[in-house]
Amino acid sequence: MIRTRIIGTGSYLPERVVSNHEAASALGIDPETVFRLTGIQERRRADAAQASSDLAVGAAQQALHAAGLSPAAVGAIVLSTTSPDMAFPSTACHLQRKLGCSSVPAFDVAASCSGFLYGLSMADAMIRSGQIDRCLVVAAEVKSRSLNPADGDTALLFGDGAGAVVVQGERDAEQPGRGLLGIRLRSDGSQHHLIRVAAGGSRQPARPETVTAGDHTLRMQGAPLFRLAVRRLERAIREMLKEFGVEMRDVAQLVLHQANGRILAQLTKRLEVPPDRICSVIERFGNTSSASLPIALDHAVRAGRIRPHEVLCLGSFGGGLTWATGLVRW
Other CB atoms within 10 Å distance of the CB of residue 154:
20
Cβ atoms of 258 and 282 within 8 Å: the answer is yes
Annotated active-site residue in 20, 93, 94, 257: 257
- The yes-or-no answer on residue 287 being catalytic is yes
Burial class (CB in 10 A: 0-12, 13-18, 19+), 232: middle
Annotated active-site residue in 113, 135, 279, 313: 113
Distance CA 253, CA 267 (A): 13
* β-pair partners for 44: 17
- Alpha-helical (H) ranges within the chain are 20-25, 31-38, 52-67, 91-99, 115-128, 152-155, 208-212, 222-243, 261-271, 282-285, 292-302
- The yes-or-no answer on residue 257 being catalytic is yes
Helix axes 52-67, 91-99, angle to 10 degrees: 50
Element (H, E) at 252: strand 251-256
- The yes-or-no answer on residue 94 being catalytic is no
Cβ atoms of 247 and 289 within 8 Å: the answer is no
Residue 1 CA: distances (Å) to CA of 127, 128, 170, 178, 313: 11, 8, 8, 12, 22
Q: Return the active site residues.
A: 113, 257, 287
